[in-house]
Amino acid sequence: MIQRDYLVIGSGIGGASVCEGVRKHDKRGTITIVGAEIMPPYNRWLLSKDFLREKTPPLKKLAHFDQRWFDSHKIETRFATIVKQFNIERRLAVLGNGESIEFTKACLAMGSRPVRPPVAGVNLGNVIYLRTVRDALALREMASIERTVMVIGGGLLACEAAASLRMMKLKVTMMHRNAYLLNRYLDSQTGPWLTDYYAKHGITMLIGESLNGFEGKTVLRNIQTKSGNRVPAGLAIVACGAEPNLDLVRNTPLSGPHGSPVTEYLETEEKGIFAVGDLAFYPDRIMGGVRRQTHWENARAQGLIAGANMTGKKRIRYEQVPYFWTEMFDLRLHFVGDFSMQPTRVDLRGTYAKKKFLARYYQGEKLRAILLCNQTEREVESAKKELRQALGK
Ligand SMILES: Cc1cc2nc3c(=O)[nH]c(=O)nc-3n(C[C@H](O)[C@H](O)[C@H](O)COP(=O)(O)OP(=O)(O)OC[C@H]3O[C@@H](n4cnc5c(N)ncnc54)[C@H](O)[C@@H]3O)c2cc1C
């Protein structure tokens, strides 16, 4: 039996940052990180961007921490294996490779996985879900053979993948059941502008259409829509959202309908067990309410804080303004604040035509969010400050 002071489950950016946070405050404690993927933690966000588009896959750019980083920080790694049993009472984890680890403190950082829509043909060849470097390598390969692709969804991942594939000169169609792209985040002027921008870049838009199923014997041939259309396609990317990887702790207090519930210190109701990143359902001390974010900076910052808190030498609250960025064609969009409700008023500075603007989203008189298009990092930081000030935080 292996005994460890700290066990980190999941080796994405959340898990990697937990290790960093622990080591900053505890130089000697024993740590093991377990990760399902074969690669050490990498920049997942690149997969729908440069990683797809560049001639040879930029593997060097992808690395966040390599094995040497873990070795030099005296952190033991178990990559390409999973934690398959997690006994909360006995503080014991059983790994897919047969090892058992008894731990004092643990952090859940298992992230999320693509939602598989409940329709026929979701497992056919050439129907791709983009989450891991293996998925991205497969997509690159298929995109070099197939010249037509259907992207299903109109969220962040769908928009990024569609833009990249179009930049790679593929014939791209997007199927999106809502009225405009990024409808979960954008207002009713910016959303249609973006949708039109995609159409102008030669992407065929099937707006208001939903997926009914995939057809083909072993490999995709056609895509059926709910309205009865049948669209020929050699390749499909399904980007219909991500759900938290909570199977390991299902039916325990560590798993809830919206993620793994944690306190403002990122600790679950089981003392000494923390959760971060895509699966943490946390109280938002800035915007109010409780939320789960599926974005890079959130996982990174939460990992660092949870790691520090796990050592018992620090007690830091997670209180960051919700924030993420995305890139599509020549647009870099930054989202600062809470975009979960349609604004009642939008104050737009700049123009869509110049592709450079800043839009303040209000609920009544209250500023709730700021959208920035092609603005500098400095402007993003001042938007965060402005929002904090407006909220009196
Ligand atoms: C293609 C793509 C592009 C993106 N682009 C952006 C972007 O531009 N901006 C942005 O803000 N965000 C972006 N994101 C989202 C961002 O990457 C995630 O929010 C972030 O990776 C979450 O980090 P995490 O560590 O919580 O989870 P993950 O990155 O999902 O890592 C979790 C890891 O845990 C492993 N795991 C799961 N179960 C177990 C188990 N039982 N045992 C061991 N290991 C396990 C998983 O295999 C995975 O390796 C993008 C995501 C994707 C897929």
**Interval 148-205: pLDDT, tens:** 999 999 999 999 999 999 999 999 999 999 999 999 999 999 999 999 999 999 999 9
pLDDT of 379 higher than 90: yes
Is 141 in a helix, a strand, or coil? helix
Q: Say if ligand 1 is within 6 A of residue 294 CB.
A: yes
Protein residue closest via CA to atom 38 of ligand 1:
110
Which residue among 134, 165, 278 has the greatest number of ligand 1 atoms within 8 angstroms of its CB, and so is best to mutate? 278
Domains located in the chain, CATH noted: 2-113+243-310 (3.50.50.60), 116-238 (3.50.50.60), 330-391 (3.30.390.30)
Tell me the pLDDT band of 59, cut-offs 50, 70 and 90: confident
Residues in the chain: 393
Protein residue closest via CA to atom 30 of ligand 1:
111
Q: Say if ligand 1 is within 6 A of residue 183 CB.
A: no
How many whole angstroms from its chain centre is CA 347? 28
pLDDT of 60 higher than 90: no
Instruction: State how far the Cα of 61 lies from the Cα of 185, in Å rounded to an integer.
Output: 29
Instruction: State how far the Cα of 346 lies from the Cα of 235, in Å rounded to an integer.
Output: 38
Q: How far is the CA of 79 from the centre of ligand 1 (A)?
A: 15
Q: From residue 333, how far is each of 6, 328, 343 by CA, in Å?
A: 37, 8, 18
Instruction: State how far the Cα of 347 lies from the Cα of 187, in Å rounded to an integer.
Output: 11
Q: Say if ligand 1 is within 6 A of residue 326 CB.
A: yes
Using the CB atoms, write b or e for 342-377: b if 16+ within 10 Å.
ebeebeeeeebeeeebbbbbeeeeebbbbbbbbbee
Q: Say if ligand 1 is within 6 A of residue 33 CB.
A: no
pLDDT of 363 higher than 90: yes
Is 54 in a helix, a strand, or coil? coil
What does DSSP assign to residue 24? H
Mean pLDDT calculated for residue range 118-129: 95
Q: Say if ligand 1 is within 6 A of residue 323 CB.
A: no
Q: Say if ligand 1 is within 6 A of residue 35 CB.
A: yes
Q: Say if ligand 1 is within 6 A of residue 77 CB.
A: no
Report which ligand 1 atom has the smallest distance to the Cα of 44.
17
Q: Say if ligand 1 is within 6 A of residue 113 CB.
A: no
Protein residue closest via CA to atom 14 of ligand 1:
45
| 373, two tokens | 């298009």
Q: Say if ligand 1 is within 6 A of residue 130 CB.
A: yes
Q: How far is the CA of 133 from the centre of ligand 1 (A)?
A: 11
Is 248 in a helix, a strand, or coil? helix
Mean pLDDT calculated for residue range 39-55: 96
Instruction: State how far the Cα of 199 lies from the Cα of 148, in Å rounded to an integer.
Output: 16
Note whether 124 and 290 are within 8 A (CB).
Answer: no
pLDDT of 349 higher than 90: yes
What percent of the chain is helix, strand and coil (3-state, nearest 5)? 25, 35, 40
pLDDT digits (tens, 9 = 90+) for 296-338: 999 999 999 999 999 999 999 999 999 999 999 999 999 999 9
pLDDT of residue 319: 96
Residue partners of 222: CB distance under 8 A and separation at least 6: 214, 215, 216, 230, 231, 232, 233
- The torsion angles phi and psi of 381, rounded to 5 degrees, stand at -65, -40
Find tokens 């974010």 and name the residue: 293
Sheet holding 230-232, edge to edge: 211-215, 222-225, 230-232
> How many other CB atoms are found less than 10 A from the CB of residue 80?
14
pLDDT of residue 182: 98
* Whether pTM exceeds 0.75: yes
Q: How far is the CA of 45 from the centre of ligand 1 (A)?
A: 8
Q: Say if ligand 1 is within 6 A of residue 131 CB.
A: yes
Q: From residue 164, how far is each of 45, 197, 201, 295, 324 by CA, in Å?
A: 13, 14, 11, 19, 19
pLDDT digits (tens, 9 = 90+) for 68-83: 999 999 999 999 999 9
Protein residue closest via CA to atom 6 of ligand 1:
45
Mean pLDDT calculated for residue range 41-65: 94
